[in-house]
Amino acid sequence: MRKLVAGTFLTLDGVMQGPGGPDEDRDGGFEQGGWSVKYRDEMMGKLIVEQTMRPDALLLGRRTYEIFAAHWPRVTDPNDPVAAKLNSVQKYVASRTLHKTEWHNSSLLRGEVATAVARLKEQTGGEIHVTGSSNLIQTLLKHDLIDEFDLWVFPVSVGPGKRLFGDGTVPGAFRLADTKVSTTGVVLHRYERAGKLEHGTFEVDKEGRIAALWEDKP
């Protein structure tokens, strides 16, 4: 079974909207686009290359697909590993409004997105990565389809905007598999699924000590 990995840039207050530029995503009157740009450093550049090389397929929402398709085919430098990978890798696009895809090796998902993605995960192969695609991620969260998060947390807050974890998020537990810190204060956390969310409470026992009590919940 293939692993579905969601990777995104994230503010401290949980917003993933418009990290790359003022006009990237102005939905809802968002005016803080471009909040990630000043924090890039050499280490982040290397990690982005490493992450880009990992998947054998990308899963993209319409907006992210259109941004990528307008940019990456124009990068023809043979020494740019990110461009070479993105232009050649298999790309699946989730959209109700697109009728065709023209970027090399890309195709539209058919039918309900959650069902189509679940079928992709059942195939043999390597990782599938979701990049950006905030609306698509909400659907994947609602149907509990994401196996791993690569979260780049930036030392900024922006107020209102599209957040990674929306109202449809299914409760669950995660394990911190790795963490790295850039010279500019960006922290990359890699979280893997670790089963269901466990509930408990803190109480004072007979000896006057604080004890954690766990309870099973469906």
pLDDT for residue 167 is more than 90? no
Rounded mean pLDDT, 152-171: 94
Residues 6 or more apart whose Cβ sits within 8 Å of residue 117: 4, 59, 94, 109, 140, 143, 145
SS3 labels along 94-121: ECCCCCCCCCCCEEECCCCHHHHHHHHH
Say whether pLDDT at 160 is over 60: yes
**This prediction's pTM:** 0.88
pLDDT of amino acid 216: 60
- Rounded Cα gap, residues 187 and 179, in angstroms: 7
pLDDT at 89: 96
Q: Residue 128: pLDDT band by 50, 70, 90 thresholds?
A: very high
Q: What is the mean pLDDT of residues 10-26?
A: 94
> Taking the domain 4-215, which CATH number applies?
3.40.430.10
- pLDDT of 120 over the 50 cut: yes
Q: Domains of the chain: which residue ranges? A: 4-215
Percentage of residues of the chain with pLDDT beyond 90: 79
Predicted pLDDT of residue 19? 94
Band (210; pLDDT cuts 50, 70, 90): confident
CA–CA separation, 127 vs 125, rounded Å? 7
pLDDT in the model for residue 218: 44
Backbone angles phi, psi at 34, to 5 degrees: 95, 15
> Contact 117/59 with Cβ under 8 angstroms?
yes
Average pLDDT value for the chain:
93
Q: What is the mean pLDDT of residues 104-120?
A: 95
**What's the rounded mean pLDDT across residues 66-86?**
94
